[in-house]
């Protein structure tokens, strides 16, 4: 039990050490005690425990499933990539020897919202084609990807004709609209309900978001994408040089 004594080790550090021992003692795939039980066991409030558990979620050591419980995962493989090169998760996985598959796939055509119209430079009545899917590694969800494309360039039929899991790879194969570079914003976000359901996590859990615009050779934005990555399953880095 974590106690708020007068020793020099902060309460938060002792809690993390105690929680780390509980996780280490649990087999991969095993379920941790319920939050109320674990909070009593460690002598802290549920709110304090929940904050500590987010650290281990970020490290990819545990995963919470809404209404089911918290499980120890310890991913065997981590997708490690530099951000200097534009490539799909599928290409990255092949290059690193990791097997990934696409889970549930949804392809819809709908009216563009205001952000999409501004980003893709579309008119008020313009439509977009949305491609949403889950990426699985070791049979577990690790990413949720949403691509929004101008419907005048890509209809649902166009996407389905040659889609293998990556919109970028599809564009490269087609050749009629040539992608050349991407502008990406990276942020840590709390999972919204739709994303949480797709990844089998709890709403509000921490995720890494890549919000990107893909440009064609002509300078047109041809893809507006939101890529949600589970911490612990990906390791991104940037090579930096002195000016």
Q: What is the CATH number of the domain that holds 183?
A: 3.40.1410.10
Q: What is the average pLDDT score of the chain?
A: 86
State pLDDT tens for residues 160-177.
877 878 899 988 888 788
Are 134 and 182 in a shared domain? yes
Give a yes or no: residue 158 inside a domain: yes
Question: What is the predicted pLDDT for the residue at 9?
Answer: 58
Is pLDDT above 60 for 242? yes
d(CA 77, CA 56): 17
Task: Say which residue the tokens 């893909």 belong to.
Answer: 214
Residues 212, 146 within the same domain = yes
Domain that holds residue 113: 79-237
Q: For residue 114, tell me if it sits in a domain.
A: yes
Are 139 and 228 in a shared domain?
yes
230 and 189 co-located in one domain: yes
Residue closest to 90 by CA, chosen among 170, 22, 31, 192: 170
Six-digit token pair at 206?
A: 């921490």
Looking at residue 110, what is its pLDDT? Answer: 96
Would you state the torsion angle of the CA atoms of residues 169, 173, 179, 185, taken in this order, to the nearest 10 degrees?
-10
Shared-domain flag, residues 51 and 153? no
- Co-location of 127 and 232 in the same domain: yes
Which of 72, 93, 110 finishes a domain? 72
Whole-angstrom Cα distance, residue 36 to residue 47?
Answer: 10
Question: Does a structural domain hold residue 229?
Answer: yes
Q: Which of 36, 52, 72 is the last residue of a domain?
A: 72
Regarding whether 31 and 119 lie in a shared domain, the answer is no
The phi and psi torsions of 34 (rounded to 5 degrees) equal -60, 160
Q: What is the pLDDT of residues 34-49, one digit of tens each?
A: 999 999 999 999 988 9
- The pLDDT of residue 186 is 95
Q: Tell me if 190 is assigned to some domain.
A: yes
Domain assignment present for 90: yes
Q: How many domains is the chain built from? A: 2
| Same domain membership, residue 85 and residue 200 | yes
The pLDDT assigned to 77 comes to 66
Confidence of residue 222 (pLDDT cuts 50, 70, 90): very high
Considering the domain boundaries, does residue 83 fall inside one? yes
Q: What pLDDT is recorded for position 59?
A: 66
Half-sphere exposure of 96 (CA within 13 A, CB side): 19
- Are 62 and 83 within one domain? no
Same domain, 131 and 212: yes
1: Cβ–Cβ under 8 A, 6 or more apart, which residues? Answer: 18, 41, 42, 43
CATH number, domain at 55? Answer: 1.10.10.10
Q: Looking at residue 237, what is its pLDDT? A: 84
Nearest to 100 by CA among 243, 229, 241: 229
Closest CA to 42 of 50, 72, 9, 66: 50
**Residues 6 or more apart whose Cβ sits within 8 Å of residue 13:** none
Predicted confidence (pLDDT) per residue in 77-132, tens digit: 677 788 888 988 888 888 877 788 888 899 999 999 999 999 999 999 999 999 99
Does residue 188 sit in helix, strand or coil?
A: strand
Cα distance between residue 42 and residue 11, in whole Å = 11
Judged by DSSP in three states, 173 sits in helix
Domain end, chosen from 22, 38, 72, is at 72
* 145 inside domain: yes
183 within a domain of the structure (yes/no): yes
Confidence class for position 5, pLDDT limits 50, 70, 90: very low
Q: What is the pLDDT of residue 122?
A: 96
Both 16 and 104 in one domain: the answer is: no
Lowest-pLDDT range of 2-11, 125-134, 163-172, 223-232: 2-11
The answer to whether residues 107 and 223 belong to one domain is: yes
Half-sphere exposure of 187 (CA within 13 A, CB side): 7
Predicted local distance difference test score (pLDDT) of residue 109: 96
pLDDT at 58: 66
pLDDT at 7: 54
Take residue 13 and report the two structure tokens written for it.
């550090």
Does 205 or 178 have the greater pLDDT score?
A: 178
């Amino acid at each position: 039990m974590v106690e708020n004594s007068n020793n020099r080790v902060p309460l938060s550090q002792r809690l993390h050490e105690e929680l780390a021992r509980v996780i280490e003692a649990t087999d991969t795939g095993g379920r941790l005690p319920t939050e109320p039980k674990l909070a009593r066991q460690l002598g802290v409030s549920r709110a304090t425990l929940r904050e500590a558990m987010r650290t281990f979620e970020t490290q990819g050591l545990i995963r919470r499933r809404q209404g089911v419980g918290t499980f120890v995962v310890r991913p065997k493989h981590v997708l490690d990539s530099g951000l200097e090169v534009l490539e799909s998760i599928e290409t990255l996985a092949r290059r690193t020897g990791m097997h990934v598959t696409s889970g549930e796939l949804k392809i819809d055509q709908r009216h563009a919202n205001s952000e999409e119209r501004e980003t893709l430079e579309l008119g008020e009545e313009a439509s977009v084609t949305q491609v949403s899917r889950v990426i699985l590694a070791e049979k577990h969800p690790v990413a949720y990807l949403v691509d929004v494309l101008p419907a005048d360039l890509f209809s649902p039929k166009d996407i389905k004709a040659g889609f293998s899991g990556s919109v970028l790879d599809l564009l490269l194969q087609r050749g009629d609209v040539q992608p050349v570079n991407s502008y990406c914003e990276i942020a840590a976000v709390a999972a919204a309900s739709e994303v949480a359901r797709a990844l089998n996590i709890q709403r509000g859990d921490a995720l890494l978001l890549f919000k990107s615009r893909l440009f064609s050779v002509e300078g047109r934005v041809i893809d507006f994408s939101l890529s949600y990555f589970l911490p612990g399953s990906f390791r991104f880095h940037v090579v930096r040089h002195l000016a």
